Chain A
Amino acid sequence: MATLTIRDALNQALREEIIRDDNVFVMGEEVAEYDGAYKVTRGLWKEFGDKRIIDTPITELGFAAVGVGAAMAGLRPVIEFMTWNFSVLASDQIINHAAKMFYMSGGQFKVPVVFRGPNGSAFQVSSQHSHSLEAMYANFPGLKVVQPSTAADAKGLLKSSIRDDNPVIFMEQERMYGLKGEVPDGDDFTIPLGVADIKREGTDCTIVARSMTVPIALQAAEKMQAEFDVSVEVVDPRTIKPLDIETIVNSVKKTNRLVIAEESHSFASVGAEIAYQIMDGAFDHLDAPIKRISTVEAPMPYAKNLETLALPDVDKIVAAVKEVCYL
């Protein structure tokens, strides 16, 4: 086991997969000479050169399309969006092309491309750089959507995503790049897509959290334990699509209470979908209505106090847990 930041774990995953498979290349804005806008690709260009690490013009739709076409023609591109906010420019390629190609070609053309980059809020980068887009992409059959929350998950899931034959939306979180965690050694360490992870076991209430809300939910769980003797289980789906609803259902069957914490806006969010699926799969096991903590329904403000107010935090999650526990 090595202790790595999420940034370095991602870097390792890329490096190992580039070495493992000649068809893997990394393309995006500033990924090569500049070492990556967030340094996830640090050192890779120096090591692997122009063929494997490619700087693009600022042309999101264009290089996303190159990723799709190259994947159809047999390569395994890893396309970096400097942030997922910019992917909206490329969404035609992701949604109308990558997601649907395998199906509309009757199963002939696989699109093994990974689109990756930081998703959600950062530090006071305001409205156009702070959106969490996972719900939008999760809405399209054909795409897989991944949101890791630890260094080990980041590495294991990225390696699996690169090896996957489908287009994968791999969403990191800028606030979390520096978070450290233990990562198993070895080039063969992978984590399968579609398998949730119970980050903390508990008996009284389940929190489903992902990406940025996982560490917050864990803090909230500790607080509930210390102050109210409430035992909280924290489930991290890790992959939004395919969603491991079974693990969440089993947790809710145990705890009878569910709080969903997510960084995205609430309307038609992944949390809304999970709430529906829990109603479908564990209705008779609920002791309280499901609560959801999301970012407020407003574009992200710049001012620090407003940004803090907009986002989920420990207190908001604690309040929700107390509510479902009738405390």
Chain B
Amino acid sequence: MAKTAINRKPVTAAKNGSKTAKPSEKNGNEEFAVVELAKAEYKQRLKSQLESIKKTDKRLLREMLYQMVLGRRFEEKCAEVYRMGKIGGFCHLYIGQEAIAVGSMMALEPTDMVITSYRDHVQAMVKGMSPESVLAELYGKATGCVKGKGGSMHMFSKDLGFYGGHGIVGGQIGVGTGMAYAAKYKGTGQVTLCFFGEAAVNQGIFHESLNMAQLWKLPIVFICENNQYGMGTSQDRAMSTRNIARKADAFEMANEFVDGMDVMAVRDASIRAIERARKKNMPTLLEVRAYRYMGHSMSDPGNYRTREEIAKYQERDPIALFKQSLNDAKVLSEKDFTKLEKDAMDAVESAVKFAEESPLPLESELMTDVYA
């Protein structure tokens, strides 16, 4: 099943029985070994991606890369304007996790539904929202996707089937289950993609939702974006097992572990899960492991992990990997890529201009949309 398995071996407890060994206590050679392994995996990814690429429409492949690059450039711009004080409140960036949104969501039908957590900018755009609409929302402008009422954590588009970014860890798992319930009830054939972080798995709602989804056979794909940190707490320090995908076994639900640095692996696993949902009304739990390059939010100093650790993952950066694969498969030349990069930058700059120039919400908007 997990054909691209990487290090799935549960982290063994330290010899003294403590599971909370600090990074500094780790053996330096072990770190080195991990990096070496990462390099080796990178090569294997290239190989497996090539196989998937051969089976995939070239225009779609280019669009996938574009969406990943756009997502990256967009989030980088967010970090930049956030530091300039253009964005208020919380701002959780997706950099490093682009392969998950792109790999899974671009396997959906347009009418399918998506719901996610507060780290939602890139998912909103992959579902079809314009960078203008998302950035204007971040700027708190009237032209934002929810008229300046939601901000970073709450992107919504009913027309696009994007059921929102949600700010309570895990809350959207239950809501997504309800969306899938409605789809089955009405017989619409829609599939719900429900994203959440690995920390949300420790919430009761995760277990309650998986139980109901399997019990009632709901057309939903639960996608755990395992970026390995719940705010500043590493998964090892928060979860008794490293194996999230297998938690679905408790509900006899199909599950799969996926390398979130490999967009084609994510896509392939998502296609399987989406088919299962659409054809059999059966749910799936995907654990997609990636790595959050940035802090939890813009106010996160990141002192709970080392630069080396981040560098290790950046070596197998999902965009670099995919770009290389597309290059190797002759789907995309360096020239194409330069243009793609420029298009993405242009789109982001255009969004900035749009957001900057947009008006603030009217004061009369304060009390609208409280009740339907």
Contact = CB atoms under 8 A, between A and B. Distances in A.
A touches B in complex, CB < 8 A: yes
Which one of B147, B158, B208 has the highest number of Cβ atoms from chain A below 10 Å of its Cβ?
Answer: B208
B113 interface: yes
A63 B175 CA distance: 9
B157 interface: yes
Given A59-B212, A62-B205, A73-B113, A105 B164 contact: yes
Nearest to A242: B371
Nearest to B170: A92
Interface band, chain A: 35 or more
Nearest to B155: A105
Contacts of B181: 66, 69-70, 75
Interface string A62-95: 1111111111111101000000000000001100
Interface string B302-343: 000000000000000000000000000000000000000000
Nearest to A69: B178
Interface stretch (B100-108, B182-190, B287-295, B346-354): B182-190
B178 A105 contact: no
B294 to A, nearest CB: 24
B178 A72 contact: yes
B1 to A, nearest CB: 27
Given A25-B185, A70-B181, A104-B154, A166 B176 contact: no
A20 interface: no
B217 interface: no
Contact of A65 (B149, B154, B157, B178): B178
Contacts of B64: none
B177 interface: yes
A21 to B, nearest CB: 12
A178 interface: no
A74 to B, nearest CB: 6
Contacts of A66: 174, 177-178, 181, 212
A40 to B, nearest CB: 22
A109 interface: yes
Contacts of B204: 61
Interface size class of B (residues with CB under 8 A): 35 or more
B164 A109 contact: yes
Nearest to B205: A61
A287 interface: no
B179 A73 contact: yes
A102 B372 contact: yes
A232 to B, nearest CB: 33
A56 interface: yes
A165 interface: yes
A106 B156 contact: yes
A110 interface: yes
A281 to B, nearest CB: 19
A105 B153 CA distance: 11
Contact of A108 (B146, B168, B176, B183): B146
Interface in B134-188: 144-150, 154, 156-158, 163-164, 166-168, 171, 173-183, 185-186
Contact of A64 (B113, B174, B180, B186): B174
A142 B146 contact: no
Contact of B177 (A62, A141, A165): A62
A65 B209 contact: yes
5 contacts: A56-B212, A66-B177, A70-B181, A110-B372, A111-B372
Given A69-B177, A102-B372, A104-B149, 14 more contacts: A25-B185, A57-B208, A57-B211, A61-B208, A62-B212, A63-B212, A66-B178, A70-B178, A72-B182, A73-B178, A102-B371, A109-B163, A110-B372, A142-B370
Q: Which 3 A-B pairs have the closest CB atoms?
A: A69-B178, A65-B174, A62-B208
